[in-house]
Amino acid sequence: IIIIFNFKIIKVTLKILINGISGVVLLYIANLIGVNFGITVGINIVTALIAGILGIPGVIALFIFQLFI
């Protein structure tokens, strides 16, 4: 039972890490496009996780949020 529990913790941790990395890549590509329009979003842990968990809608939400700040 302990081994199964540890495996689930590792699995969730890896999923969050992979989502965070994919979020950074997605934000980087979006920033390359957004710089032509004068809008960029800073890449940090919070924005990477938002983009990683929510995907493209998360990146769009971050850019919309940046417009209103």
The one-letter code for the residue type at 32 is L
Above pLDDT 70, what percent of the chain?
97
**pLDDT for residue 1 is more than 70:** no
Is residue 13 scored above 90 in pLDDT? no
Predicted TM-score (pTM) of this structure: 0.74
**What does the DSSP 8-state code read for residue 38?**
T
pLDDT for residue 32 is more than 90: yes
7/3: higher pLDDT: 7
| CA dist., res. 49 & res. 34, Å (int) | 19
